[in-house]
Structure 1
Amino acid sequence: MPDNPQPLSLSLNVLSKAGREPDLPATVVTEFGELVLRRALRILPERRFTALAVLNQCPVIAKVFFDHPKSVRDARQEAERLVALAERGVPAPRLVGDSGPVAGGRVLVLEHLSGTDAARLYEQAYRNDAGEQWAALLVAFLAKLHRAGCVQDDVHLGNFLIDGDQCYLVDAGSVRLFEPGQVPAADRLANLAALLAQFYPVDTRELAPVVAAYGEGAPSVAELETALGRARQRRYRHALGKVQRDCTDFAVVRHSSLRGMVRRPLRAVFEALLEAGIDRLMAEGEMLKPGNSSTVCRVHWQGRDWVIKRYNVKSAGHRLRKQFKPSRAARSWRNARWLELIGLDTPPAVGYVERRVMGLQDTAYFICEYVSGPSLKDLAGGGSEAMARARQQVARLFFLMETLHFNHGDLKATNFLWVEGRLCILDLDAMQLGLSKGQTARLVARDRKRWAANFQNQHD
């Protein structure tokens, strides 16, 4: 394939049928010139396509709205909101071109701004224990939007762009407008809580600095604490629901008697592994943990280093009991995503599959990336400075379990690896989410007892 393939020329109707993996680059002819779509940023099949693009040799952002009733409304609203934001002096991309309604939909071309999205910058800062400053910065910007009469209803960090000290609002279509200075207090509070829910909980433990960063019109700390709890519940429930359905980040996989989920970018590699035979590859791989209930192997596959954990069926009675709850592989898949959401490290999950025999759940497999590092048990023997940092991160884990009402279920020192200065948590299948306060107190206390018996008393 040539290094610079010539773009295909597509109509909006053809592009709308391309699904989540369109053949790019592609050209869409508009009244303001040939728009070359270079890289997809977000795709809602048959509804909307957002891409990095080039128009008249200038980089732009292209938003293609297809001929769908909701998309027609969304396109009109996005165009109107971009004009309104410019009139109010809100930092946002400039509308470069608008095709208006045409055959197959509508095309909006937006200014391509320099800078980096706040989600990426925040993740980098969090890894260096400096995430709180970004919460204060974006809270101050949100207050500015509210004073301008704007509420960004899709307030995730990817919808803010940062270039030096300047913040920009992107995705104007999800903005609600009020008269300047007239956003109701309830809307301001809910919007602020929704923004804070995008940050890892350890960076919003203290809400007084948040209230100070917001400035005039800020809610009380008590009001914000209550609203933040509700906002987190909504966000986490929505995010965990996506791990079991086909969406931008995840894909359903089906192969023979196997059914499961995979991270979408790894779908082709994962399906090739299933085609090659997952049990055969485990037999040829490096055994990490033989066992009756589960078998763990390290497998090298198409240039990737993966760990496969197979949950075995021990007896007919065991198979029967498995039918009434999600498999341990499915729970590990969900729980890996949970830890990502709240800012704790675990080997990146690749996917999982379950085998069904005559409609009954049988063997299940959880696949994650292989990571290397000493266990916490080994780290403790050296008495290093790293051990002090590790203890701080263990304390962070207990804080999160108590705050967010979950437990790990098997807190022994060998279930933690020390990887690039951070704790990496293993064995997620016993983790329980959504506990009541009473359950949290009892199960987290049990985790603390297990932790002390298995680690602290032996290595202090």
Structure 2
Amino acid sequence: MDQRNRSFSLLVTDAASAGFADYTEGRHLDLKTVACLRHLPGRRAVWKARCEGHDVLLKVFDQHPKQRRDLDREWDNARALFKAGLATPEPLFKARDDSGLLAVAFTYIENGRTLKEVFAEADEATLAAGLRQLLELHAKQHAAGSYQKDNHLGNYFSSRGDLYMLDAGSCVLKDNALSIHDRVQNMAMLIANIPLHSRKVFDGVFSTYLDCCPDEIDRQIFLGKLAIEVPEARNRRLMSYLRKTRRSSSKLERSDHPDKSWHACRQLEPGLKSKLLENPEQFFIGQTRKGARVEDGEGYLQTDFEQAGHSYVLRRYDRPSLVNRLRQFFSISVFPRVLEVWSNGHALNMVGLESPRPLACLVLKKYGFYLGGYLLLEKTNGKRLSERDDVSEDIVLQFDTLIQDFKSLRITHRGLMPSDMSIDENGRLVLVDTASLRFHKSVSEYQKEAAEQAQTLEELLG
């Protein structure tokens, strides 16, 4: 679907009365979009649109095998949630057009942002207030027999002091209040999606949820089950996101060609994207090489450059050894190093660990064999830890926190060195080398490699 503003001529197939308009079944409506808010290619797009003089939120579903299911689930769940008194945008109408597109419309909530956006720049007091509000909403959801399957901060919308649930299509509704099992599962998923730097504040206000449902659950049993489930939920979330980084989504794009595959953030500047796809080597001409490195037999060279007021790092990964190329060709679980770094960087950012954000990944290939690639990263300003003469107590504390976060997420880092970390201009510890990270599914797998990592850390700290 084209993301540029467009017009829709829709026939209403089901409607709910709204305070400012009555959209009756069988009416024809003309809508003009104002902005594309979200786009999942081949599935759906979310627009801010104008309809009969009012702003509406329009969700349009493309033709695909699950189109009708997605539409009905969104519409039916939204109406049920709104009827139950839960805070969600009011559903207005369901409609279709002559080309086969299906759509649902909701009231448009002005001046709002997702909780993910709010929390990214919130001070501790604002963060605590927002988390309390989120926990109160969860208590209401659970008491009403509802929960969000895709329970992350991007599915909650804050506007003028009110908090709303988004994405009704991924909600589950039951006839009675949720069981303790369902509550534990849903709260564990929420905790898994709270960024690590916000966990301390979250733990401090978590009693808000328990205070909202004193007669519905046994606190001791609930907290005991939650302590067991949270590590598993975090691990599932991390593994799921790693897979997600290698396919197209609302935020990432992927395209495959005989000689290359392309992965990029959808917000990547179009001019920069064109240059990378046309000839990435042009960025190395006349630039100072910032160093080379070899990781498990695969080397890379990197350079810095600026474009349109932004600073970037571009790495060129060399052709790996024949053994590594054969391993990647015949295995579905072994990926090119450049693609591993792309996925690892996004996974770390997802859980709130500081590392340079990957912006684009170009994998070169011939007859299915990996020939090397390029990785574009945001540049983080600051000195490498190995270049500093002194290390403050705060940096030592941040390093200790990083290792504890690795443990809770079952992450190991092979060969962690001071040159793998830097201190940015805000005094934050940033993990620069993400290629050597390993994300482990099982506890036993993690413990085996963590024992080897512990010896390396002792040498580093010593």
- TM norm structure 2: 0.81
Structure-1 residue corresponding to 2:428: 422
2:336 maps to 1:327: yes
Question: CA, structure 1 residues 233+133, in 2 after alignment: closer, same or farther (shift >3 Å)?
Answer: farther
**Higher RCO (CA 8 Å, separation ≥ 6 residues):** 2
| 1:358-369 equivalence runs, <5 A | 358-369=367-378
RMSD of aligned Cα (Å)? 3.2
- Runs of 5+ unmatched residues, structure 2: 12-26
Secondary structure at the aligned position of 2:344 is classed as helix
The equivalent position to 2:398 in structure 1, one of 383, 393, 396, is 393
| Structure 1 position 117 matched with structure 2 position 114 | yes
- Contact 1:255–1:274 (8 Å) recurs in 2: no
Residue 434 of structure 1: aligned partner? 440
> Could you tell me how far 1:246 is from its partner in structure 2?
2.2
Q: Percent identity?
A: 21
What secondary structure, in the 3-state scheme, does the structure 2 residue paired with 1:91 have?
coil
Distance in structure 1 (CA, Å) of the matches to 2:124 and 2:143 = 32
Tell me the distance in 1 between the aligned counterparts of 2:228 and 2:236: 13
Residues 335 and 428 of structure 1 are in contact (CA less than 8 Å); yes or no, is this contact kept in structure 2?
A: yes
Superposed CA offset, 1:3-42 (max 9, x none):
xxxxxxxxxxxxxxx2xx4331434355364311122223
Residue 14 of structure 2 corresponds to none
Q: CA deviation at 1:270?
A: 5.1
**1:298 offset after TM fit, Å?**
1.6
Residue equivalent to 2:291: 289
Name the TM-score, length of structure 1 as normaliser.
0.81
Whole-angstrom CA distance in 1 between matches of 2:353 and 2:187 = 24
**C-alpha displacement at 1:287, in angstroms?**
0.8
Which secondary structure does the structure 2 equivalent of 1:162 belong to? strand
| CA-to-aligned-CA distance 1:209-246 (integer Å, 9 cap, x gap) | 52552332345212012222332233222211111112
Among 346, 358, 365, the residue aligned to 1:356: 365
Q: Does 1:176 align with 2:176?
A: no
Question: CA offset at residue 277 of structure 1?
Answer: 2.2
Question: Which position in structure 2 is the counterpart of 1:231?
Answer: 233
Instruction: Tell me which residue corresponds to 1:89.
Output: 85
Deviation of 1:376 after TM superposition, in Å, equals 2.6
Kindly indicate whether the alpha-carbon contact (under 8 Å) linking 2:360 and 2:375 is maintained by their aligned counterparts in 1. yes
Aligned partner of 1:305 in structure 2 is 311
Measured against aligned partners, the alpha-carbon deviations of 1:73-107 in whole angstroms (never above 9, x if no partner) come to: 43334333333333322222122344478762443
Match of 1:137, SS?
helix
Any conservation in 1 of the 2:8–2:97 contact (CA below 8 Å)? no
Per-residue CA deviation, residues 280-336 of structure 1 (Å, 9 max, x unaligned), is: 432432210045732121234566432122232476567656656322211111110
Offset at residue 451 of structure 1 (A): 4.7
More displaced stretch, 48-57 vs 98-107: 98-107
2: distance between equivalents of 1:111 and 1:91? 12
Moved more, 315-324 or 58-67: 315-324
Cα deviation for residue 452 of structure 1 reads 5.2
Structure 1 CA distance, aligned partners of 2:401 and 2:238?
Answer: 19
Instruction: Find the counterpart in structure 2 of residue 10 from structure 1.
Output: none
1:341 aligns to 2:347 (yes or no): no
Shift of 1:109: 2.1
Residue 192 of structure 1 pairs with residue 187 of structure 2 = yes
Q: Report Cα offsets for 1:313-368 as digits up to 9, x if no partner.
A: 47656765665632221111111012112211111102222322454322233221
Letter of the 2:254 counterpart: V
Q: Which secondary structure state, in structure 1, belongs to the residue aligned with residue 206 of structure 2?
A: helix
CA contact (8 A) 1:345 1:425 kept: yes
Match of 2:384 in 1: 375
Partners of 2:452 and 2:126 in 1: how far apart? 32
What is the distance in 1 between the residues matched to 2:288 and 2:433?
18
- Which range moves more in the overlay, 89-98 or 434-443? 434-443
> Judging changes above 3 Å, is the alpha-carbon distance between structure 1 residues 152 and 435 closer, same or farther for their aligned structure 2 residues?
closer
Question: 2:121 is paired with a residue of what secondary structure?
Answer: helix
Deviation at 1:443, TM superposition (A): 4.1
1:117 is aligned with what amino acid?
T
**Aligned residue for 1:246?**
248
SS of the residue 1:432 aligns to: strand
